[in-house]
Structure formats: structure tokens, C-alpha cells
């Protein structure tokens, strides 16, 4: 007979050669909450709960997928971002804590409208729509990502206008107070430093840019922003720390002012804000 308190030790036993102990425990409790709906304290209360065969099979499936280094978020098909639940598939990046910091920075200002470019799962646009009464729209090149984003908007009971477009084919955007983007910014040459679980499972189109044109998304979006941002409007980007100086020069060249770089929780320059005057 297997009981709830056996689950975490089983995860440790089967995955210790792949993940560190802290990560294993975290993944185990995420899995338990997904299957049983128990948080950590509820696991203690229900520690002697007998596991049914169906749930044992689910645990086995998750562990076997983890052995292939598949991220737990893709195994479960969901994750949490900014306190909200989001569905995911292999057409959408797993939202990162750094992007939560970007959302938090955007929300420090008041605005009536916002556009999220390269929106993926919709995590940024949906978080902004949930936290404000602003009119929010979002653009992504992937139809599969847009479909997931629409599901996520419904899941979180918000209204966001999603558009499946190649941003490089867009010549103008509607007028808005805020443009925010977390575009592809990892250099192709940086692939050798990227974890296997990212390389093998997350969409490369949403991650990587060519080394010989690393600012291609920033250049295009900044150009569109000069035409669509209202006076005093704000442009926010998540960025590659290696390119922070170049991005600041780029934005200044377009006429943006009050350009501010911001570090993330890991003390890396990860975000930039600029004002359109």
C-alpha cells in the first residue's frame, strides 16, 4: 500500500541523479498539488492518505517524463505566473520570474491601454489586464501560442484582444499608452550555455536571435512605438543583459527619453523602460 507521504521520497529516489534535492522536492510538491489539490501543509495533514492506482500511475508518468528532462510545466500543461494559472504547450515559453518583475514594473505606472508584442502564452498581457481596467491587446507570430493565450484569458476571466501576426510585417499599431515586449533575445552563440531541458522542449523561435542582428526585434518594435505610443507613453522590454548598452543607444537614437535600465532579482540588467515625448 502506498500513501501520500511516500511520494516525495520516491521522487528523490528516482530523480536524484538528474536534479538537485531542492528542485526535486519543489517538483514533487507541484505534482502533488496538481493531482490531489494539496499544498505543503495539507500534505502533512493528509500524509497517511492511501493512493489509488490511477494516482500512482499519474506519479509514475510524471517521474518518467522528468527522467527525459522535460520541464514539469510542460508535463502538467500549466504553470503559475503573477499569481495566475496559465496553460502551456510546446509553442509557448515557460514564463520566468524575471518576466513577473517586468510586469510589476509596468504596473507601477497608470495607463489606459497596452500592447504586448511577442506575447506567447499571454502571461504579460493577461496579468496586466487582470490588475488594471486598461484595454489590452497582444501580438504573436504563432497561431498555436495565440490559441493557448485565448484559453488563458478565459481561464483568468479577462478580456485581451489577441492577434496572430508577424511583427516584421506590421507597419502600424493602434495608439496606446504602453508597449511591452519580451522578444527573443538569447544569442545563437549562447546555446552552448542553455540547459538541455530548455533546448529540447521550449520553442526556439521564441528564444533565439542571430548573433549578427541581435537587436532586430527591439529595432522593429521601437520603430513601431514611435508611431503608436501616445505622448508620454512608455516602452518596456525584457532584454539580454549583454545587450543593455546597445539597446539604450538604440532607443535614444529613436528619440526616446528617460531611458532606465533595471536589474532583476539575480542582479542582472534584465529590463529597460523608455518614455516617448
> Tens digits of per-residue pLDDT, 55-102?
999 999 999 999 999 999 999 999 999 999 999 998 999 999 999 999
What is the spatial distance between Cα 53 and Cα 193, in angstroms, rounded to a whole number?
40
Average pLDDT in the 180-201 region? 94
- The C-alpha cell that represents 42 in the structure block: 495539507
Within 8 A by CB and 6+ apart from 28, the residues are: 7, 8, 11, 12
What is the spatial distance between Cα 99 and Cα 183, in angstroms, rounded to a whole number?
11
Q: Check residue 67 and give its pLDDT.
A: 96
Q: Check residue 1 and give its pLDDT.
A: 78
Confidence band, pLDDT 50/70/90 cuts, at residue 169: very high
Above pLDDT 90, what percent of the chain?
Answer: 98
Q: Check residue 148 and give its pLDDT.
A: 97
Confidence band, pLDDT 50/70/90 cuts, at residue 196: confident
**Does 16 have pLDDT greater than 90?**
yes
Confidence band, pLDDT 50/70/90 cuts, at residue 115: very high
**Does 28 have pLDDT greater than 90?**
yes
**Does 220 have pLDDT greater than 90?**
yes
Closest CA to 182 of 268, 267, 269, 98: 98
Which residue shows C-alpha cell 501576426? Answer: 165
Average pLDDT in the 197-202 region? 92
What is the spatial distance between Cα 9 and Cα 21, in angstroms, rounded to a whole number?
11
Using only the alpha carbons of the chain, give its radius of gyration: 21
What is the spatial distance between Cα 103 and Cα 238, in angstroms, rounded to a whole number?
10
Confidence band, pLDDT 50/70/90 cuts, at residue 112: very high
Average pLDDT in the 239-262 region? 98
φ and ψ at 42, to 5 degrees? -70, -25
> By the 8 A CB rule, do 274 and 235 touch?
yes
Helix axes 53-67, 7-15, angle to 10 degrees: 30
* Largest Cα span, the chain: 68
Confidence band, pLDDT 50/70/90 cuts, at residue 239: very high
Whether the CA torsion 107, 146, 205, 248 is positive or negative: it is: negative
Closest CA to 227 of 271, 179, 156: 179
Q: Check residue 144 and give its pLDDT.
A: 96
Amino acid at each position: 500500500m502506498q500513501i501520500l507521504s511516500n511520494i516525495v521520497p520516491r521522487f528523490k529516489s528516482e530523480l536524484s541523479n538528474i536534479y538537485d534535492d531542492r528542485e526535486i522536492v519543489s517538483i514533487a510538491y507541484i505534482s502533488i498539488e496538481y493531482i490531489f489539490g494539496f499544498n505543503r501543509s495539507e500534505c502533512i495533514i493528509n500524509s497517511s492518505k492511501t493512493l489509488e492506482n490511477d494516482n500512482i500511475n499519474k506519479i509514475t508518468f510524471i517521474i518518467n517524463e522528468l527522467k527525459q528532462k522535460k520541464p514539469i510545466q510542460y508535463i502538467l500543461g500549466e504553470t503559475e505566473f503573477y499569481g495566475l494559472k496559465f496553460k502551456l504547450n510546446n509553442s509557448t515559453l515557460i514564463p520566468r520570474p524575471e518576466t513577473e518583475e517586468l510586469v510589476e514594473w509596468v504596473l507601477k505606472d497608470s495607463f489606459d491601454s497596452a500592447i504586448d508584442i511577442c506575447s506567447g502564452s499571454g502571461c504579460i498581457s493577461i496579468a496586466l489586464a487582470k490588475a488594471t481596467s486598461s484595454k489590452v491587446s497582444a501580438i504573436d507570430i504563432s497561431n498555436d501560442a495565440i490559441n493557448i493565450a485565448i484559453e488563458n484569458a478565459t481561464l483568468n476571466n479577462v478580456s485581451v484582444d489577441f492577434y496572430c501576426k508577424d511583427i516584421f510585417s506590421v507597419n502600424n499599431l493602434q495608439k496606446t499608452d504602453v508597449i511591452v515586449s519580451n522578444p527573443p533575445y538569447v544569442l545563437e552563440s549562447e546555446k552552448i550555455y542553455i540547459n538541455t531541458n530548455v533546448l529540447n522542449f521550449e520553442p526556439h523561435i521564441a528564444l533565439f536571435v542571430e548573433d549578427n542582428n541581435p537587436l532586430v526585434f527591439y529595432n522593429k518594435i521601437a520603430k513601431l512605438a514611435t508611431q503608436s505610443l501616445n505622448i508620454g507613453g512608455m516602452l518596456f522590454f525584457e532584454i539580454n543583459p549583454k545587450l543593455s548598452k546597445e539597446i539604450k543607444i538604440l532607443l535614444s537614437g529613436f528619440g526616446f527619453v528617460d531611458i532606465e535600465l533595471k536589474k532583476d532579482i539575480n542582479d542582472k540588467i534584465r529590463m529597460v523602460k523608455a518614455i516617448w515625448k
